[in-house]
Structure 1
Amino acid sequence: MTTKRALSEAQELLFYAYRAFTAAPDALLDQRGWNRVHHRLLHFIGRDPGIAVNELLEKLGVSKQAVHGPLKALVEAGLVETAPDAEDRRVKCLSLTEAGAQLESALSSPQFAMLGEVFAQCGPQAVQGWEAVMKAMAKRIS
């Protein structure tokens, strides 16, 4: 059984780790007056080019209103392009432009480097444990 103190310490570690994980991309986003929502949009659109807006909203677990402003900013900045779906022209699909892919890479590269370094430092068994914990936590919202 895990004590309240141990859970509190785990919570703090998660807060500190997330702060370290987001520091570099947050600084880059701040230069544009943007935030983590913009990064999440770039990430998920980049991972699934041609994703329908409704699919994106479902993946993020947010409303259309929550992403309207940030998505509009990314489109206006020439980082995301929209196109009608080939089968249903009422469906709007999203893809990164070349500039959008470059920005997404600049935002994610420090995070990939950090994960790679930490995974190498901690070893495969720790990585498997971390993945198990992250997957179990992620399932709580699905």
Structure 2
Amino acid sequence: MVDLNISRAPSAPESDDARLRKAIELLYFGYRAFTAPPDRILEERGLGRVHHRILYFVGRNPQISVNALLGVLGVTKQALNAPLRQLVDMGLVATDTAAHDRRVRQLQLTVEGEALEARLTGAQMVQLEAAFARGGAQAEAGWHAVMEALVGAGR
């Protein structure tokens, strides 16, 4: 664990600034720990975090349109094009045209894509399960409330 009390004495009262900086540091270090296991799996295939996000949200939303995926990810078409094309070329994501409109491209995971997504997300689910078990139900509920507030603030 990283020592987050480097800049102040352990017995000193925590100012609002120090409290918020500690929260920022925990978020950074927590995210690094949360993404490390999937990053190692992705690296084996020459993929990165953007590929994981695509696999995750396509897996959670089968037949999602490319435009809807752009909205979920909050990226431009240019930013999505290369990694999505790579996943399609690797046989992890399949595309087809929507029955209601041939101009709409829909996405779904292939069997191989489902297996990779399950492995990536499964590693993170194990981490969250352990953290929630350690923190308890009240801490888990608080974490969800904080994350939802952050998501809402970013809109």
Structure with the larger helix share: 1
Aligned to 1:36: 49
TM-score by length of 1: 0.97
User: Identical aligned pairs, as a percentage?
Assistant: 50
Distance in 2 (CA, whole Å) between partners of 1:59 and 1:108 is 17
Deviation at 1:43, TM superposition (A): 0.1
Give aligned pairs, total.
Answer: 141
Distance in 2 (CA, whole Å) between partners of 1:53 and 1:112 is 26
What amino acid does structure 1 have at the position aligned with 2:72? K
TM-score by length of 2: 0.89
Give the RMSD, CA atoms, in angstroms: 0.9
What amino acid does structure 1 have at the position aligned with 2:124? Q
User: Are 1:95 and 2:116 counterparts?
Assistant: no
Aligned to 1:113: 126
Unaligned runs of 5+ in 1: none
Aligned to 2:59: 46
After superposition, the C-alpha distances for 1:75-127 in whole angstroms (9 at most, x for unaligned) are 00000000101101100000000000000011111100011111111111111
Please say which structure displays the higher CA radius of gyration: 2
4+ residue stretches of structure 1 with deviation over 4 A? none
Distance in 1 (CA, whole Å) between partners of 2:45 and 2:112 is 14
Aligned to 1:19: 32
Unaligned runs of 5+ in 2: 1-14
Three-state SS of the structure 2 residue aligned to 1:81 is strand
Higher relative contact order (CA 8 A, sep 6+): 1
